[in-house]
Amino acid sequence: MRSRMTRSDQVAVTRETILATAERLFAEHGPAGVSNRQISQEAGQGNNTAVSYHFGSKDGLVRAIVRRHTEQIDEIRHRMVARADGSTAARDWVACMVEPFAQHLDDLGPPTWFGRFSAQVMTDSAYREVMTQEALDSPPLRHAAERLKRLLPDLPPDILVERQDMVGRLMVYTIAERERTLAVGDPLPADSWARVASRLTDALTGLWLAPVTELPTAP
């Protein structure tokens, strides 16, 4: 006799269906372009308040999607940080920030949506802070950032903040674009994700170590 699904199992399946559906819709249209009602309908939920019931708000839904992936990304990052322990090469610590994201998407296999979801969220001021908070809550990411900072030239505070923003945007948008390319079926080498992660790590390391050119003060 086939065992009946328990109430907690049903809730878990419903939550996972909503998360997967919302991630895809947000990746395609952005959080602001998708209503909770649309998500519920696309997820096959007869109750149009299913999103609110399970996640409270769209903020809560975005946060849950981010956590759905960052937990797995952090497992990869923990291993990389352990291997990089004691390194004085800035690139090693930049790699700890970049490569786990790409590796996670590679592990999932196509189609993936989290790269484009991340890009959409980072361009939406209403939800960007949610993703930033979740990222900063990652112990291995903070550890890698602290180790990298010790190896950087003495950058003025405003330059440091500017480069942090540049690095974050370049990483998210480069990965999102590669994910989009894979989604439309463009032919890519078998090591696509490893290759893009390596080249992105090279570029971001160069950005962090780039010289600072001071402009003359206007009269």
**Residue 191 belongs to a domain:** yes
**Residue 92 belongs to a domain:** yes
What residues contact residue 44 under an 8 Å CB cut-off, 6+ apart? 17
What residues contact residue 111 under an 8 Å CB cut-off, 6+ apart? 182, 183
**Residue 107 belongs to a domain:** yes
For residue 15, is pLDDT > 80?
A: yes
Give residue 85's domain range: 62-209
Q: Tell me what the mean pLDDT of segment 127-132 comes to.
A: 90
**Residue 38 belongs to a domain:** no
Q: Would you state the pLDDT for residue 11?
A: 80
**Residue 4 belongs to a domain:** no
Q: Would you state the pLDDT for residue 188?
A: 63
Domains: count for the chain: 1
**Residue 23 belongs to a domain:** no
Q: Would you state the pLDDT for residue 32?
A: 92
The pLDDT tens digits of the residues spanning 61-98 come to 999 999 999 999 999 999 999 999 999 999 999 999 99
**Residue 127 belongs to a domain:** yes
Q: Is residue 200 within 8 Å of 170, Cβ to Cβ?
A: yes
pTM: 0.90
For 38, 115, 139, 146, 171, the CA distances from 157, given in Å and listed in that order, are: 44, 29, 23, 15, 21
Q: Of 27, 139, 125, nearest to 82 (Cα)?
A: 139
Sign for the CA dihedral angle at 165, 171, 175, 178 comes to positive
Q: Return the minimum-mean-pLDDT range out of 49-58, 163-172, 203-212.
A: 49-58
**Residue 11 belongs to a domain:** no
User: Sorting pLDDT into bands at 50, 70 and 90, what band is 1?
Assistant: very low
